Amino acid sequence: MSSWWKFERLRRSGTDGRLQAAAGDNATVDFYFLNALGDLVGDGECSDKPVRRLGPHTFAARDRLIVIRYVSAAEIAIIRARRWDRTYYVIDDALHDADRSVDLPLAYRRRLRTFLRDGLPAILELNPHVIAPSAHIFAAYPGLTTRLIDPCLRHPRDPDTDLDHHDAHQTLRLCFLGTRSHGASLDLLRSIAHALPAIAPEARLTMFFGDGLPRSMRRLASIDNRPPLSWPAFKRFVAQQRFHVCLAPLMPTPFNRGRSITKVLDGASVGAATLFSKRAPFDSVVSDGNDGFLLDDAPESWIAKIATLAQDRDRCRAIALGGMQLANAKGDRERLRRFWLSELDLTSATSP
């Protein structure tokens, strides 16, 4: 049996429910690939698309393989069944720093440790080009070709329709859209939540920590704590919900040094004026006071800025507008699309 048909047999037998279960549940796949190239991706032997999905994290364009963040055992078997002319590994976190970031949930650190031991070596044996949003990530992959890219929006936000919620009479709505991997921000968020009743008595801070939120914070009336969302559910949430202020603190932990600008995109997606920590990656992208605010780690700085925005809704709306324009520019879908069309030798493919 030729290596190609062995590959096809494995691919077809592997694309069952177990392999595809996470196909719609991976933010990295959307942000760095499908948002830009989804119209060119097909699945199944009858597909006439130039890119084929092999599994939750893997794609192929003829003899070029794309692996995004993780790889399953079934996918390892598939990609080892044939030779690849070139492999790309897209990774958007400093995975090797996870064990040194005790703020991360223990179960998450264990999963990453297992992947680094069992999954990553199978990717690295293909000598991939490493694609990442942060130069800090590249230190874990010495000797490999590296390329910097930013995540992209699926659809640009429209200021004419996505900012109507900034009417002065509306109750102030705040959100923190980070996952439990942002646990280092909880002390700052606790201070903000305690201060909210004095700033805007009816204001609520929406979070998605579920049982991972400390009990002392769950009792605060100013916090609307919800269960963590799957990626598909999160996409639906940001498409439907609007907030006035988005909080994007980023504490100086080893894992956070590899973060991307996804919080710039998230804040714009919910139409909010976003407050960012004054450190990478935000301090090189956000223009303080124009398309967001860059703040130090002192809770007083964040509380004071929220109080200002609560009293000046026109200012809040203006910052939200600037953030939307920033996200549309930095998350430009066409830029990422051109990158992949060139790398995968698909330049003849037409735009949707």
What is the end-to-end Cα distance of the chain in Å, rounded? 38
* Region of poorest pLDDT, from 37-51, 110-124, 278-292: 37-51
* Separation between Cα atoms, residue 162 and residue 153, nearest integer Å: 15
**pLDDT tens per residue, range 170-187:** 899 999 999 999 999 999
Strand partners for 41: 51
Average pLDDT over residues 340-345: 96
Phi and psi torsions of 89, nearest 5°: -115, 115
Q: Which residues contact 321 (CB under 8 A, 6 or more apart)?
A: 159, 163
Provide long-range contacts, Cβ within 8 A and 24+ apart, for 5-11: 6/81, 6/82, 7/78, 7/81, 7/82, 8/45, 10/77, 10/78, 10/81, 11/54, 11/78, 11/81
**Confidence bin at 46 (pLDDT 50/70/90):** low
pLDDT value of position 154: 86
Over residues 151-174, the mean pLDDT reads 87
User: In the prediction, which pLDDT does 169 show?
Assistant: 83
Would the pLDDT of 259 be above 90? yes
Single-letter code of the amino acid located at 125: E
* Residue 168 confidence class, pLDDT cut points 50, 70, 90: confident
- Alpha-carbon distance of 290 to 332, in angstroms, equals 19
Rounded average pLDDT over 325-331: 96
For the whole model, what pTM was predicted?
A: 0.91
To which residue do tokens 């929406």 refer? 206
- pLDDT of 21: 37
CA-CA distance, 120 to 114, in Å (whole number)? Answer: 9
Share of the chain above pLDDT 90, in %: 84
37 φ, ψ (degrees, to nearest 5): -130, 10
Position 47 scores a pLDDT of 77
**The Cα angle at residue 61 between residues 55 and 66, in degrees rounded to 5:** 55
pLDDT of 107 strictly over 90: yes
Tell me the residue type at 211.
D
Lowest-confidence region among 10-24, 136-150, 255-269: 10-24
Predicted pLDDT at 24: 52
Among the listed residues 119, 68, 61, 65, the one whose alpha carbon sits nearest the alpha carbon of residue 90: 68
8 A C-beta contact, residue 258 and residue 134:
yes
**Residues carrying CATH 3.40.50.2000, the chain:** 159-330
Provide the pLDDT confidence category of residue 156 given band limits of 50, 70 and 90: confident
Helix residue ranges per DSSP H, 163-294: 186-199, 215-218, 231-240, 262-269
Count of other CB atoms within 10 angstroms of residue 68: 23
Looking at domain 159-330, which CATH architecture does it have?
A: 3-Layer(aba) Sandwich (3.40)
The whole-number pLDDT of residue 303 equals: 98
**Percent of the chain, pLDDT > 70?**
91
Alpha-carbon 21 to chain mean position: 19
Indicate if the pLDDT at residue 19 is higher than 70: no
Beta strands in the chain (DSSP E): 41-42, 51-53, 58-61, 64-68, 86-90, 129-132, 146-148, 173-175, 204-207, 223-225, 245-248, 273-277, 293-295
Residue 135's CB is within 10 A of a number of other CB atoms, namely 13
Query: For the chain, what is the radius of gyration of the CA atoms?
Result: 21
- Res. 196: pLDDT tops 80: yes
Per-residue confidence (pLDDT) for residue 335, from 0 to 100: 96
